[in-house]
Structure 1
Amino acid sequence: MTTTVTRSSTDADPQDWPGIAFVPSGPHNRIAAALAEKIFVAAVNRLPMRVTYDDGTVHGGIPRRTEGSGVPEMRIHRPGDFFARLGDSGLIGLGESYMAKDWTAPDLTAVIEVFAQRAAHLVPVPLQKLRGLYLPKPPRRERNTTANTRSNISRHYDLSNELFALFLDNTMSYSSALFDGAGPDLLEARWEDFAPAQQRKIDRLLDQADVGPGSRVLEIGTGWGELALRAARRGAEVVTVTLSSEQKRLAEERIAEAGFTDRVRVELKDYRAVEGEFDAIVSVEMIEAVGYEYWGVYFQTIDRLLAPGGRVAIQAITMPHERMLATRRSYTWIHKYIFPGGFIPSVRAIEDITDRYTSLRVRERLSMGDHYAQTLRLWEERFLARLDEVEALGFDEIFQRMWLFYLCYCRAGFQAGYLDVQQLIFDRRP
């Protein structure tokens, strides 16, 4: 039996969006779709949410009498297409079916958060053990070898500087901010708080890495240049490396405008190819793009480049160690559409790898997952408010739904506690 495809009822361009324009079909898929429906219905009937169909069918662990009470609601409009995609590729199909409008949600983040809180228990354990037999596997072309990494990075970061500028603050920081407050106070974070919170995050990393006048600083992952600029303002000499030609171009423009071309050098280079000796090495949310097979190489490279007495400051998205082990060979919607080749480490994995392969040790770490949830909320609000401008840049409705799903998917992970973000400070063991 083989899986074939039929044309979706969406108006997706089949060349741009083959996974959306076509729906899996055929005898094999009918069996997979039926099984997916049974698993899905059994799961949602245990969850604090409601799933409604256009024909009036309702599933979920919330009694019908609570309708309108504000519980998360998922609305399935084309159940046949939805379960065909889910049966074919699991969570990739969940995201693709949202992009295709097979289902919608008044509060997308709330729906995904319910799933994220129970991610380890949605599928029966015997079927989880068989996931490698029926779910898609990571393509070899997306492994982060030195030959592939440039392409992987380009697919995301070279989309358009103008696109990122529409929803990022004026520091052009594409990572978690560190707001002035905690707990319920974070929920009050507003756009005017954003740029200072991004600078606070950067300054803390630079402080912990002892960056000051004359420091030789290596930044792995340039972004759009804000960290390099702030280090240069302290009197540091900075080398910053990126594999995104678009980021390099804009970062160099910003550095020139600020008058720091004599202190900051931006290089289009793989981190593995860097040579030299640095007093401080800083990397913000770049380890997630390394790939778990290369974490050892990543930290060995840092260890090789760090001067005696130097310090390392890394900001990293993390997940629980057990979930990391269970999913490290999975191919997900995020891989296919957002970050090819990426994988999120656990803190334990980072500590084990640095202990085994390097002279580095973790001296301090700060957990700030709640701050990332609010960072993503502000990005989402800004993105939704500027959809007309997104479309004017040439990004169609399917892209817009994809990007919204990405922002909400990530935010739900942090709100559920499935994801965290850490600032980790390293020095050398005595």
Structure 2
Amino acid sequence: MKKTLVSALTTALVVGAASTTFAAANPFSDVPADHWAYDAVSQLASDGVIEGYGDTTFRGNQNITRYEMAQMIAKAMAKSDVSAADKALIDKLAAEFSDELNNLGVRVSNLERNADNVKWNGQARYRYWSQRYEQKDGSTKKQNNDQLNFRLEPSAEVNQNWHVNARIDAFTDPSKDTDATVKLVRVWAQGDYKNFQVKLGKLPFYSTETAGMLLDSQFSGAQVTFGNQLKLTAEAGRWDLDNAINQSDIYAKATETVSKEDKTLKYSDQTASYQGIGLNGTAGKLYGGAAYRHFDSNLFKNVKGFKNDADEANIWSVGAGYTFDKNWNLYGAYAKNEKAESDATAHNIQLNYKGAQKANKGSWGAYTAYRYMGQNVAFAPTYETFLGTGVNNVKGWEVGTEYAPFTNVTAAAYYFNGKKLDNNNDAELLFGRVNFWF
């Protein structure tokens, strides 16, 4: 349906054109000062939203062309000195005409609109691990690691329901001053509807019911979630086992020592097909959930602690928490892998006090926890005391504290002291981290 410039100006009045006469020369000879649209035409012309036809006429009674309307919308959207309310109305006007004005001008207008819908978040952080292990002869093995990490997390709006999200990580070892390794860790499309959400791509892989005790990684596939207070989540795809299985335990069934060449040859297939379903909900101060996950890979046949010829992992898990007040929270979880004979269970209980809020300078928090982390079930836990350090398959106590010394800056220190599950030797670790958020 075509619209005349007079009717378009009626819409422009809604969009926010000034309704008071200003002292300026009449821009168009065919729009007298006593014309009902004079104020709107003069304001829009002064702002550069409309230009007329170059012969001092406006031709207000002429049908507007699609390209002319596209020009009006594009110029209005290009303005930077409009209020937030006016910008929202301009966007609605552009959306109203987008189907009718399917030409170059409208496409440019849409691109300008969508450019503002790409948001960037990220962080720069430094992490340090200092670990101590008791050896068979009673001596202590010491190992220190540190890491610099730069992370970007863009989110782009596709339409009112769909977004595209990604995560890009760069890692480097400051002790060696080597070049950074840059990875596109995640990229997925997300559709949000009332009581329904769908994710497609390489997306976050998190065991919500255990607060990350089992998994905090990413997998390639699909996830759908239904519900509001009580949410049902189903997901399926493929997951890389490279960082999930301790390489020192690969092929340990057959021999205590495996050559590097043999391990590399047999370890080439390191992905597992995956299916999972979980239920999570809240009821007042109580929250919790349960889940079942199935992984299928020939790699499991050669992993120490799995049942003979088991080429799958079947893991069920439960967790629950209670929020006492604004300061105190208690949470616990349990999980078991039915296809493993040893190191097949994990459980955790943690008491939290307050918490460091990056936007709130001076905020802080602390926690104490007991963790039992069987490596054949807790594949990729969220706890940073167990990330990338070889500190796994352990049980013991952990304490930690976090503090926000400045706005968008947080610092943390964690300490773990316990035993290795396979030999009961001492295991100890000190962890530190500084985050700069943006």
Q: Which has the higher helix share?
A: 1
Q: Could you say which TM-score interval applies, normalised by the shorter chain? A: under 0.3
Q: Which one scores higher on RCO, CA 8 angstroms, separation ≥ 6?
A: 1
Larger Rg: 2
Q: Which has the higher strand share?
A: 2
TM-score (norm 1): 0.22
TM-score (norm 2): 0.22
